[in-house]
Amino acid sequence: MTRKKIIFIAGARPNFVKVAPLISEIKRFRRFNYILVHTGQHYNFEMSRVFFQDLEIPKPDYDLGVGSGSHAWQTGKIMIEFEKVCLKEKPHLVIVVGDVNSTLACSLVAVKLDIPVAHVEAGLRSFDREMPEEINRVVTDSVSSILFTHSEEANRNLIKEGISRKKIFFVGNVMIDTLLESKVKSQKSRILERLKLKKEQYAVLTLHRPSNVDKKNTLENLLRTFKIISQKIPIIFPAHPRTAKQIRKFHLNSKFHIPDSRFQIISPLGYLDMLYLVTNSKFVMTDSGGIQEETTILGVPCLTLRKNTERPVTVTHGTNTVVGINSKRITSEVKKILSNNRNYRKRPKLWDGRTAGRIVRILDKVK
């Protein structure tokens, strides 16, 4: 019997965390041949290679080395390079994860070559078409033959869009497989000593959405808000390269006297250090999608610095509050967290560390 040949796509930081458990499960299952393609959307050591090390992801079979550019340039370049891989390898299936430009580009290439696409993390919707990721999600889902979802809302979103129920598989959250698998390993992290922090006596901040960092006024107002909050509790801010670049471009470093021991802007962290840092923090402020989910499982309060979330289950079940970017609202939510103990939460259904196993068993059954 010939083994099914599957290509996995990973291009940007959040993708690595999602492909790691899928690859380790597929290797264990021994019924598929797999190929890992790294598009090169993210390429700095701390945005890419450290995740391969921390999560023991095998070296990619292809590195397309695409790098940064405008959306059209990046998506187009990935498509051109990935088409060559598909023509050479002739896979039976392409698996894409998440909602980054690499996800969209590779799905389009595959479907146009008549290769079925499976989308892991299908059905998330912020209903905000100004978010580049929302376009990536809608298009990827519409061309996928197999849609793996992580929540009931995602199922409902897909059904409302007319996607056949037969294509939808509710399997849970693959990123939580990685988190639960890595918790023990992360205990070895020395990040708190390195940053001179004490457990639950600091907050973590991440910020990289274009809507928050690409306009000077917005970024400046946010930094001012964080500076005020840092008088109450120290803030650690592992800054995405895009954000670091914008802070330099708008000359905001000197304005906020950064670095400052109560408001430390540092380079992006690897997976295990970040997991340990977040686990032991008092709370997190973020505009990332994945961190809303991780804090839900860790039971760490999360303030989401956006006007919406495509992950409402983190609000209904988890520790997430969507606060937007208004300074008064953010500081008042921080006050509430500082005066209360950690909030209790329910674990969303199937966020149990066994999602990759479910996915691989389904892949084995579907024609």
Q: CB nearer to ligand UD1: give 34 or 62.
A: 62
Decide: 129 and 135 in contact? Cβ < 8 Å.
yes
Of the listed 208, 240, 251, 317, which one is catalytic? Answer: 208
In angstroms, what is the minimal distance from the CB of 65 to ligand UD1? 12
Which residues bind to ligand UD1, rule: CB under 6 A? 12-14, 41-44, 47, 68, 99-101, 132-133, 208, 240-242, 245
Is the Cα dihedral 16, 290, 79, 22 positive or negative?
Answer: positive
Identify the CA nearest to 219 among candidates 195, 193, 245, 238.
Answer: 245
Q: How far apart are CA 46 and CA 16, in angstroms?
A: 12
First CA to last CA distance, the chain: 14
Where does the chain have alpha helices with state H? 13-29, 49-54, 71-89, 101-112, 132-143, 152-160, 174-186, 191-194, 210-213, 216-229, 241-249, 252-255, 271-279, 290-298, 313-316, 327-339, 355-365
In angstroms, what is the minimal distance from the CB of 308 to ligand UD1? 15
Q: Residue 158 burial (CB < 10 Å; 0-12/13-18/19+)?
A: buried
In angstroms, what is the minimal distance from the CB of 54 to ligand UD1? 16
Using the 8-state DSSP alphabet, how is residue 60 labeled? Answer: P
Q: How far apart are CA 281 and CA 300, in angstroms?
A: 7
Residue with tokens 């609202």: 329
Q: How far apart are CA 252 and CA 39, in angstroms?
A: 32
Decide: 44 and 241 in contact? Cβ < 8 Å.
yes
Q: Is the peptide bond before 14 cis (omega within 30 degrees of 0)?
A: no
257 is catalytic: no
Is the Cα dihedral 125, 17, 101, 168 positive or negative?
Answer: negative
Count the Cβ atoms, other than its own, within 10 Å of residue 333.
18
Is the Cα dihedral 295, 122, 124, 45 positive or negative?
Answer: positive
Is the Cα dihedral 179, 181, 184, 190 positive or negative?
Answer: negative
Q: CB nearer to ligand UD1: give 95 or 360.
A: 95
Q: Which residues are catalytic?
A: 208
